[in-house]
Structure 1
Amino acid sequence: MLYNYLLIAFRNIKRNKLRTFVHVFGLSLGIAICLLIFNQLLSAYSFDRFHPDEDRIYRLNTYSEWQPGEFFQSSGTNGPLGEVLDEELSLIESKARLYHLYETMVSIPEQNKVIGRKRGVAFADDGFFEIFPRKWLAGNPTSALSEPNVAVISESSLLHYFPGLSAGDVIGKEVLWVDSDSIYAQIRGVVADFKENSDFIFTDFISFKTIQKMESEDWYGLHSWNNLNSSSQLFVKVNEGVLKNELDEALLGISKKYLGEEGNNTTFIGEPIAEMHFSENYDDSTISKPLLRGLTFVGLIILALACLNFINLETAHAISRAKEVGIRKSLGSDRAQLMLQFLSETFLIVFVASLFSLLIADQIHHFFKDYFLSEFTFSILEVKNCVFIFSIALLLTILSGIYPALIQSSYHPQRALKGEVNYVNGFSIGVFLRKNLTIFQFAVSIAFIIMVAVISTQLKYISSTPLGFEKNAVLFTDLPFMGDRVVREQLSDRIRQESFVKGVSMSGVLVTSNSIWTSDAFYLKDTIENALNVHVMNVDSAFVGTHQISLLAGRNTNNQEDEIVVNLNFVKTLGFSEVEDMIGSTLRLGNELRTIVGVVDNFNARSLKEEIMPIVLIYRPDYFHMLTAKVSNGQNLAYMKQRLEDIYAETYPFETANFSFLDEVVESFYENDRKINGVLFFAAAIAILISILGLFGLSSFTIAQRTKEMNIRKVLGAGVLQIVGLISRQYVWLVSISFVLAIYPAYYISKLWLEDYAYRISMPYFLFAVVGLGVMIMALLVVGFHSLGVAQSNPAKVLKSE
């Protein structure tokens, strides 16, 4: 029986090639996109789910209101919190302290071998391996990190540092890590690397007690409740049955007890370890949950459009199969058998579409690699993908096929054989559904296109907005942190001597970046201190000139630590009308008094999503770790970049020379927005393609039904334009209603997105009209293509049977 159903289904599919093509192409696109999003979601939500009792593990975060109505959440905690936690909280089973380092120089003293800089280095205590256990290849897990100047390395570090040696052979060997100071430590253990997806990228673990022995608590920011360092992190494993709100309530008591007045607007909260991948991790691979939800929503909409296309065309096509149903019922088939027949036909179409979707998904993944997470991989033959494809084929068979099957199996045999199913007296549910499904499809497509137009216009606007500094032909590189000051200056002088270099500056931060150092500053006026929150930037006196920032009054600092330069917003915040009035004034930063010697114009030290804060440029050369060079425009930038890297390598032979372009940093601020725009553009293209395919198939069928009517009108004197207009009129109304329905959702979502930008365009309403008109023209071209064929047909041939 099933074989017969499938055989008949195959013959029907083969007989209606256009309808089958529309179904298979539309469904395969929708399934392919959902398959990729399904894999992306599985990948994103798999991070750090494998740890034992992961539901009881939390990373403690600091949550504070640093300005009225403005909240800041950091993954770091105050250093002393890790010391008092055991005494203050009875609901935790264990704790782990971690201090991760950015890039650390590694060498093997015994071999006089320099490994180079690594990012996976951290200070950790024994509790870390208790909460996040690993397979130990050598060493004692309970005591490996219990003493100062001992370390545990991973298997990957073992192969890198000591090629050819086993895990047991390296126990007791010494490794040198250079951060703010030289850290010599003996290896006490070797652990296996995580094979699962994890945000813990660390390969080298130095005992936390080493910090106390080095007396470096002050440097690492672990000495005070008033010092928050995001590198200082604290993990806890709570007792069984303890809920997050219980942990947060207990932490609130600690903040009030130890932070004093600051505890009124600062507290500690627990972040489930599985959420770390969506907030702040260690290799900048964070992905936002709203983006994932948006991708899921887009994928489901596209799949829904494809399903609606199927339902729309099948219900319209049902009339042409009325006599088949009548004959089958007359020969004894019941409704259940007919429904099974039609559902088997649907399943065959969906199954073929699912197979094609695997190929389409593979190609989409290939061409859009940059839009997926770096750890995301896709393979057609993976078991999870096969299960997903089979499951969605069954689901879509039911969702897409059940209504058309009900309609087609409901015809009365006598009326069906007489051809009376076309007769509609009053309201028709079939016609109503077809029109409204078409409206919904085009409304979604129009909304997508409008959002793409708005985002593209905003991105074009920010790319042309003056930033207050020169970003083109500017290269920068990192310098060894806390390196020799004399060597830094030698490098700067050598680069400055190159003929193509127009300026060189050293600083603790780029002229524009995602990092920020804020502080309370106190302006002294008539013995009264006026407090304001400022953005502090550590730069030398060449910084302003190298970046071509306009100097409005005064002069640059002469590389004097007691002199500072402020920006125009600093002057405005204090209420001064003339910038010259600021020159010679005194400002207190911390416990140090500094003299304002210059005022520069405003420049965007952060992205255009944020307002420009009052900025203070200070001079603290010991903490410079960035070198910036302005080079000549219009020359061979590749050659200049290579020349600068060669000079860097000569000065720092053990460092990696890598100069980057400042304009690429500026572009990276909006990379996620560009990806969102790309995703929406792709979704809009797919949505409009599916809608047009549906319209193409639906108009083909509708016009075929009205062929005789149109030719009778021609006989009675109707012209070609009249007939085309008559057929197209209903589609003009459908697209017009779709446009009206799409306006508000597109406006609302676009408005929410634009609100992320401090500098943004006004809502481009004219684009709404342009998009609506464009979709209208596209729809009319599709319908007109079919209508013209009917309008130009020979009535004698069409009506010869009448």
Structure 2
Amino acid sequence: MIRNYLKIALRNLFRHKVYSFINIAGLSIGLAAAMLIMLYTKDEVSYDRFHANGANIYRITTEWINPDGSVKQGDGTTGYFQGPKFKDGVGEIQSYLRVRSDFRNIRQGTEIKGYEMLETDSNFFSVFSFPLISGNPATALQKPKSIVISDEMAEKLFKSTDVLGKTIEFVEEEKLEPYLITGVAKKAPQNSSVKFDFLLPMIVKNEAYQDKENWFNFFLNTFVVLSPNATQASAEANMQRVYEADAQETIKKMAKDFDIKENARYALQPITDMHLSTKFAASNGLTDASNPTFSYILSSIAIFILLIACINFINLTVARSLKRAKEIGVRKVVGGDRKQLIMQFLGESSVLCLIAFLLAIGLVQIVLPTFNQLSNKVLAFSYLFDFKLIVAYIILFIITSLLAGFYPALVLSGYDPIKTLYSRFNLTGKNYLQRSLVVVQFGLASFLIIATLTIYSQFNYLTTKQLGYDDKNLIMVDKWRMSHAQAKLFSDELLKNPNIITVAPKNGGSWGTVARVNGETQIDFAYETVNPAFLPMLKIPILQGRNFSPDFPSDSTQSVLVNETFVKKAGWKNPIGQEINFWYDKNPKYKVIGVVKDHHFNALNQEIGSQVFTMKPSNDYGRMYIKIKPNTEVASLKHIEKTFRKIFPINSYDYKFLETENLKKYEAEAKWKQIMLFGAVLTIFISCIGLFGLATLSAEKRTKEIGIRKVLGASVSSLVKLLSVDFLKLVGLSFVFAFPLAFYAAQEWLKNYPYRISIGVSIFALTAVVTIVIALLTVGGQAIRAALVNPVKSLKSE
């Protein structure tokens, strides 16, 4: 019996090649999309689950609570204090481990190269499950100037992993210091929030543990290991108790001296929650912070594509049912019952799904590199054969087979054998289900087209909007802890080249602190250390007052510039001459000498914040901005590198173009633009091949009608209209449902951006035009072909 079902299934498959191709192509694309999203989701939820003691590892998080009980801000950072203090005072905590990021220069051959590194406590390898290839995990990070490197970095630096006992020369205070390699670790897994090429021992001076103001320093990650029987809630309560008891006097002092009214609240975050946390994201040395929204969006796209493919199968199978009506009638007359017929048709759908499933595996292998590029993953094809994923694929195969084949099997097996054998059977009625499925198909496709156009428009807006300053032909060169004297020397040497227009230093990285104004008002702001050339170079206007000037020596010690947002937050009507002082130092007070026009110094997904510019001699610079003449990049860069290596011979050299760095801020949007475009193209493609099949069957059913109409004088255009208009009505109806949902989804997504486009009628009009044109081309081609057939042949057809 099963053998007979299989024969019939294969025979039908090869006899109707066009419809078989449509179903297999649609299903294989849908299944491939689903498999890729399963791979992505599996990787996302597997982060940090490989640690042997992972169930008991937590990260300490901090929230600042206002006097009214509301949360001011919070993140996953702590300082030197929290780990040892909580270990000593909280019985549930077995051990602690601190991790912080650092950037250090090392000598690599004849060059100096800069690398990201991690500083950590000596018990790193007992808390985390990172195996050492060589070295003792218990002692590898105990001594100063020791270092553990990854096997990948060992191969890069020494062309071997047998490097235990060798040294790496670090640049420290303008001289080279040797560090002893005490361990070689395997490269961290892809699904780890802690990744490293270099591990350095964290050296903390005893004085740091004596100063209780360090309760208020936050710059690293602290992990704790709880006892197996301990509860998270109990540990958190005891942590808060220890903090409030030990820091009681310090809290009062900070409130009195610096008007800090907020209080810290400590909690624990399971290490397995870090990767997908939107509240306490992985940062400060931790990598790959993600957002579960990405998984939701990708999963939705995959479901859309698979659903559309299943709709194609159902529509085409039901539409083709008239051609199999006599077969069903004969089977029923000779004793076949409905259960057997259902099994036969389900078997046929299963065979077709199996072929599509095998093709989908091949598709996944082909597109996986592109998918990795779009999703910032390094997923391997071998991941497909993970046991849990294999089970998931089997379930997916079963669900797809049932979803695609169950309804057609019920419809086909229910035909009346007498009517079918006497050719009195017709699939009459309004075919509401078939029409509804077409509406759903094109509704989903329209939804994705609108989403794609919205992301495209927002991305274009972010990358073309005026930032309030000139970032063209600006090169940035980093030099950490560059003194004001070094900056002047570097500037003077650079300006000797006629291709360089102007040079200006600035602090490296992002600095931020708090100022007190008008006696009590506290304002958070970005703290910029510049010189008089910086603002004119970037063409940032001074709206009130004046810029820093060498004609006023006191500018470097007593004066600041503020931006418009700072003035608004301070509530000043006449800002020039107003005074501010930093929260950590009541004296000296700084006088405002100018107001700088607001500009987007951060990405456009952040609102413009407060800014304060200073020339304090005690603040080192970290970056040199160099304005060059257009079309002189090669010659200018050659001079810049030569000058840098001359003045800073044992520092790593690197350069960036400011315009390029600004565009990199929107890499996530660029990738989502591509992902949504692929999703929209696939849904349109699958929908159209389904519509093509339905149009072909519709034309076949109406062969005699078309012949009679032609004999009676109907034109080709009228016949094309007759055959196309019903399908176009369904496409138009899909807009009624898709457009409101797409508008709501787009509005919700755009709320993530303080600076965003407005969704206008043009996006919906373009979507409607594109969808209708594509549908018309798909249906119209078949309609024209049917209308051009000789009516003699049409009337003779059976």
Mapped partners of 2:160, 2:732: distance in 1: 73
The alpha carbon displacement at 1:291 in A equals 0.9
Which of 189, 193, 196 is matched with 2:186 structurally? 193
Q: Does the 8 Å contact 1:79/1:223 carry over to 2?
A: no
- What is the SS of the residue equivalent to 1:277? coil
Partner residue in 2 for 1:542: 533
The alpha carbon displacement at 1:747 in A equals 0.8
The alpha carbon displacement at 1:493 in A equals 2.1
Which of 624, 627, 635 is matched with 2:624 structurally? 627
Mapped partners of 1:65, 1:682: distance in 2: 45
Which of 294, 300, 303 is matched with 1:297 structurally? 300
Mapped partners of 1:379, 1:757: distance in 2: 38
What are the Cα deviations for residues 287-315 of structure 1, in whole angstroms up to 9, with x where unaligned? 32211221112112111111111111112
The letter for the 2-side match of 1:573 is K
The alpha carbon displacement at 1:445 in A equals 0.7
Partner residue in 1 for 2:441: 441
The alpha carbon displacement at 1:465 in A equals 1.9
Which of 694, 697, 717 is matched with 1:698 structurally? 694
What are the Cα deviations for residues 15-49 of structure 1, in whole angstroms up to 9, with x where unaligned? 11111121121112112222222222233333321
Mapped partners of 1:244, 1:453: distance in 2: 46
- What is the SS of the residue equivalent to 1:270? strand
In the alignment, does 2:401 pair up with 1:397? yes
Partner residue in 1 for 2:500: 501
Cα distance, 1:364–1:222 mapped onto 2, change above 3 Å: farther
Pairwise mapping of residues 470-619 of structure 1 onto structure 2 (< 5 A)? 470-479=470-479, 481-483=480-482, 486-509=485-508, 515=510, 517-524=511-518, 528-558=519-549, 560-577=556-573, 581-590=574-583, 591=585, 592-619=588-615
Partner residue in 2 for 1:321: 324
Which of 707, 711, 718 is matched with 1:711 structurally? 707
Mapped partners of 2:644, 2:76: distance in 1: 34
Which of 785, 788, 799 is matched with 2:784 structurally? 788
The alpha carbon displacement at 1:501 in A equals 1.3
The alpha carbon displacement at 1:473 in A equals 1.0
Mapped partners of 2:365, 2:624: distance in 1: 43
| Structure 2: stretches of 5+ with no match in the other structure | 550-554
Mapped partners of 1:165, 1:671: distance in 2: 35
Partner residue in 2 for 1:418: 422
Mapped partners of 1:182, 1:642: distance in 2: 25
Mapped partners of 1:616, 1:536: distance in 2: 5
Identity of aligned residues (%): 28
Mapped partners of 1:730, 1:753: distance in 2: 35
CA root-mean-square deviation? 3.3
Mapped partners of 1:140, 1:263: distance in 2: 47
The alpha carbon displacement at 1:60 in A equals 1.4
The alpha carbon displacement at 1:773 in A equals 3.1
The alpha carbon displacement at 1:391 in A equals 5.4
Q: Does the 8 Å contact 2:475/2:655 carry over to 1?
A: yes
Q: Does the 8 Å contact 2:161/2:184 carry over to 1?
A: no
The alpha carbon displacement at 1:130 in A equals 2.2
Mapped partners of 1:346, 1:22: distance in 2: 13
Cα distance, 1:176–1:742 mapped onto 2, change above 3 Å: same
Segment of structure 1 superposing worse, 360-369 or 565-574: 360-369
Mapped partners of 1:180, 1:233: distance in 2: 26
Partner residue in 2 for 1:75: 76
Q: Does the 8 Å contact 1:115/1:161 carry over to 2?
A: no
TM-score normalised by structure 2 residue count: 0.88
Which of 756, 764, 767 is matched with 2:763 structurally? 767
Partner residue in 2 for 1:234: 222
Cα distance, 1:331–1:365 mapped onto 2, change above 3 Å: same
The letter for the 2-side match of 1:732 is L
Partner residue in 1 for 2:201: 207
The letter for the 2-side match of 1:610 is Q
Q: Does the 8 Å contact 2:117/2:200 carry over to 1?
A: no
Q: Does the 8 Å contact 2:66/2:262 carry over to 1?
A: no
The letter for the 1-side match of 2:222 is L
The letter for the 2-side match of 1:237 is V
Which of 120, 123, 126 is matched with 1:123 structurally? 120
Mapped partners of 1:609, 1:381: distance in 2: 36
Q: Does the 8 Å contact 1:610/1:757 carry over to 2?
A: yes
Mapped partners of 1:767, 1:715: distance in 2: 44
- What is the SS of the residue equivalent to 1:324? helix
Mapped partners of 1:416, 1:249: distance in 2: 76
The alpha carbon displacement at 1:390 in A equals 5.7
The alpha carbon displacement at 1:671 in A equals 1.4
Partner residue in 1 for 2:274: 276
Q: What number of residue pairs does the alignment pair up?
A: 771
Q: Does the 8 Å contact 1:570/1:615 carry over to 2?
A: yes
What are the Cα deviations for residues 55-92 of structure 1, in whole angstroms up to 9, with x where unaligned? 22111122336899775432211332122102332222
The alpha carbon displacement at 1:506 in A equals 1.3
Segment of structure 1 superposing worse, 597-606 or 769-778: 769-778
In the alignment, does 2:253 pair up with 1:224? no
Q: Does the 8 Å contact 1:180/1:482 carry over to 2?
A: no
Q: Does the 8 Å contact 2:147/2:183 carry over to 1?
A: no
Cα distance, 1:188–1:683 mapped onto 2, change above 3 Å: closer
Partner residue in 1 for 2:552: none
Cα distance, 1:293–1:560 mapped onto 2, change above 3 Å: same
The alpha carbon displacement at 1:630 in A equals 1.3
Q: Does the 8 Å contact 1:149/1:206 carry over to 2?
A: yes
Segment of structure 1 superposing worse, 144-153 or 610-619: 144-153
TM-score normalised by structure 1 residue count: 0.87
- What is the SS of the residue equivalent to 1:196? coil
- What is the SS of the residue equivalent to 1:482? strand
Mapped partners of 2:359, 2:383: distance in 1: 11
Mapped partners of 1:318, 1:222: distance in 2: 81
The letter for the 2-side match of 1:266 is A
Mapped partners of 2:161, 2:456: distance in 1: 56
Mapped partners of 2:90, 2:32: distance in 1: 50
Cα distance, 1:522–1:191 mapped onto 2, change above 3 Å: same
Cα distance, 1:461–1:749 mapped onto 2, change above 3 Å: same
Q: Does the 8 Å contact 1:256/1:263 carry over to 2?
A: no
The alpha carbon displacement at 1:159 in A equals 5.7
Cα distance, 1:351–1:165 mapped onto 2, change above 3 Å: closer
Mapped partners of 1:485, 1:123: distance in 2: 32
The letter for the 1-side match of 2:224 is V
Mapped partners of 1:483, 1:23: distance in 2: 65
- What is the SS of the residue equivalent to 1:630? strand
Q: Does the 8 Å contact 2:475/2:625 carry over to 1?
A: yes
Mapped partners of 2:719, 2:154: distance in 1: 80
What are the Cα deviations for residues 624-665 of structure 1, in whole angstroms up to 9, with x where unaligned? 1111111112x1424433432333233333333221111112
Mapped partners of 1:715, 1:182: distance in 2: 97
Mapped partners of 1:284, 1:247: distance in 2: 26
Mapped partners of 1:81, 1:263: distance in 2: 20
| Structure 1: stretches of 5+ with no match in the other structure | none
The alpha carbon displacement at 1:386 in A equals 7.2
Partner residue in 2 for 1:757: 753
Q: Does the 8 Å contact 1:136/1:192 carry over to 2?
A: yes
What are the Cα deviations for residues 290-344 of structure 1, in whole angstroms up to 9, with x where unaligned? 1122111211211111111111111211221111111223333333433333233
Mapped partners of 2:133, 2:773: distance in 1: 69
Cα distance, 1:380–1:205 mapped onto 2, change above 3 Å: closer
In the alignment, does 2:38 pair up with 1:13? no
- What is the SS of the residue equivalent to 1:505? strand
The letter for the 2-side match of 1:472 is K
- What is the SS of the residue equivalent to 1:549? coil
Cα distance, 1:254–1:447 mapped onto 2, change above 3 Å: farther
- What is the SS of the residue equivalent to 2:275? helix
The alpha carbon displacement at 1:133 in A equals 4.0
- What is the SS of the residue equivalent to 2:458? helix
Q: Does the 8 Å contact 1:79/1:222 carry over to 2?
A: no
- What is the SS of the residue equivalent to 2:505? strand
